[in-house]
Amino acid sequence: MKRVIFFVSLLFVFSCASYKGVKDGDYNQVFENTSHSLEFVDSKAELTVMTFNIRHGLGFYGNGDLEDIADLIRINDADLIFLQEVDVNVERSGYVNQIEQLAELTGLNAVFAPSIILKAGFYGNAMLSKFKFSDLQRINLPTHIGMEGRSGVFAKIEISEGVVASVVSTHLSFESVLIRDWQASSLLREMHKAGRGSDLYILGGDLNAEPETHTVETFAGFFRMKIDLFDYLSFPAFSPTECIDYIFARSNNEELSVSLKEFDVFDANPGASDHLPVISKILIEKP
Q: Please give the residue range of the domain that contains residue 259.
A: 3-285
Q: Tell me the per-residue pLDDT of 75-115, one tens digit each, with 9 for 90 and over.
A: 999 999 999 999 999 999 999 999 999 999 999 999 999 99
Query: End-to-end distance of the chain based on CA atoms, in angstroms?
Result: 39
Of the candidates 216, 212, 233, the one whose C-alpha atom is nearest the C-alpha of residue 276 is: 233
The whole-number average pLDDT for the span 147-159 is 96
Share of the chain above pLDDT 90, in %: 85
pLDDT of residue 119: 86
pLDDT of residue 158: 97
**What's the full length of the chain, in residues?**
287
pLDDT of residue 14: 32
Question: pTM score, two decimals?
Answer: 0.91
Q: Is 110 exposed, middle or buried (0-12, 13-18, 19+ CB in 10 A)?
A: buried
Res. 24: pLDDT tops 50: no
- Of the pLDDT bands very low, low, confident and very high (cuts 50, 70, 90), residue 7 is very low
Res. 284: pLDDT tops 60: yes
Res. 38: pLDDT tops 70: yes
**What's the number of domains the chain is made of?**
1
- Could you write out the DSSP letters of every residue in 142-186? ---TTSBPEEEEEEEEEEETTEEEEEEEEE--SS-HHHHHHHHHH
- Of the pLDDT bands very low, low, confident and very high (cuts 50, 70, 90), residue 272 is very high
Indicate the average pLDDT of the chain.
91
Which secondary-structure segment (H or E) carries 104?
A: helix 98-106
The whole-number average pLDDT for the span 3-32 is 49
Strands laid side by side in the 163-171 sheet? 133-141, 150-160, 163-171, 200-206, 245-251
Res. 17: pLDDT tops 50: no
pLDDT of residue 15: 34
* CA-based torsion, 12, 194, 78, 49: positive or negative: positive
- Of the pLDDT bands very low, low, confident and very high (cuts 50, 70, 90), residue 246 is very high
Which secondary-structure segment (H or E) carries 76?
A: helix 66-76
Q: What is the CATH number for 73?
A: 3.60.10.10
Q: Are 14 and 186 a contacting pair, CB within 8 Å?
A: yes
Are β-strands 163-171 and 200-206 bridged in parallel, bridged antiparallel, or unpaired?
A: parallel
Round the CA-based radius of gyration of the chain to a whole number and report it.
17
Res. 11: pLDDT tops 50: no
- Of the pLDDT bands very low, low, confident and very high (cuts 50, 70, 90), residue 192 is very high
Res. 285: pLDDT tops 70: yes
